């Protein structure tokens, strides 16, 4: 099947498949008559794996390492567990940061509902933001 047919089957953009080919995650054959990339059932299986791994938070670089380990006969499972443990930690930290931002936003909105609008004077841009006394974190 062609790039377009494979993309349609998985409901993804054909450029995504082309990118996977470019970085070596998919290795199609070439049609000798027209040079088109052709994908077989093994490519479909691999694309399904790639999409499933991405949905679990694995990066394309992670996926490449996992596939290479598998192809060399090594079990990628220990590496998968290690990567997932790291992704869980990173996600937990991001969630905590997002929760803190969310709480700060709610606090700001509650305070701002009671404040009047004012016109810029050159001394400030927007007094609502400038006068807000929530905890400030810079990243």
pLDDT in tens, 38-90: 999 999 999 999 999 999 999 999 999 999 999 999 999 999 999 999 999 99
Q: How far apart are the first and last CA of the chain?
A: 46
Q: Which residue has the tokens 């990628």?
A: 76
Residue 137 clears pLDDT 80, i.e. is over it: no
CB distance 17 to 5 below 8 Å: no
Token output for 124: 């400030």
Is residue 139 scored above 80 in pLDDT?
Answer: no
Q: Categorize the per-residue pLDDT at 134 as very low, low, confident or very high, splitting at 50, 70 and 90.
A: low
How far is it, in rounded angstroms, from Cα 18 to Cα 13?
A: 9
Structural domain spans, the chain: 3-113
d(CA 15, CA 110): 45
* Interval 80-101 mean pLDDT: 96
Q: Identify the CATH number of the domain defined by range 3-113.
A: 1.10.1660.10
* pLDDT grade for 103, boundaries at 50, 70 and 90: very high
pLDDT band at 10 (very low <50, low <70, confident <90, very high): very high
Q: Is 37 helix (H, G, I), strand (E, B) or coil?
A: strand
Nearest one of 80, 28, 76 to 58, comparing CA atoms: 80
In the predicted model, what is the mean pLDDT of residues 112-138? 79
Q: Is residue 119 over pLDDT 90?
A: no
């Amino acid at each position: 099947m062609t790039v377009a047919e494979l993309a349609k089957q998985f409901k993804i953009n054909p450029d995504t498949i082309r990118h996977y080919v470019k970085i070596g995650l998919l290795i199609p054959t070439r049609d000798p008559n027209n040079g088109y990339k052709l994908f077989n059932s093994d490519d479909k299986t691999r694309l399904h794996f790639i999409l499933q791994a991405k949905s679990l938070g694995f990066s394309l670089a992670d996926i490449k390492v996992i596939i290479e380990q598998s192809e060399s006969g090594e079990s990628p499972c220990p590496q998968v567990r290690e990567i997932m443990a790291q992704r869980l930690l990173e996600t937990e930290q991001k969630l905590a940061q997002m929760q803190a931002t969310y709480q700060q936003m709610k606090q700001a909105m509650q305070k701002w509902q009671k404040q009047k609008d004012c016109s810029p004077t050159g001394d400030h841009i927007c007094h609502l933001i400038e006068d807000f006394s929530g905890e400030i974190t810079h990243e």
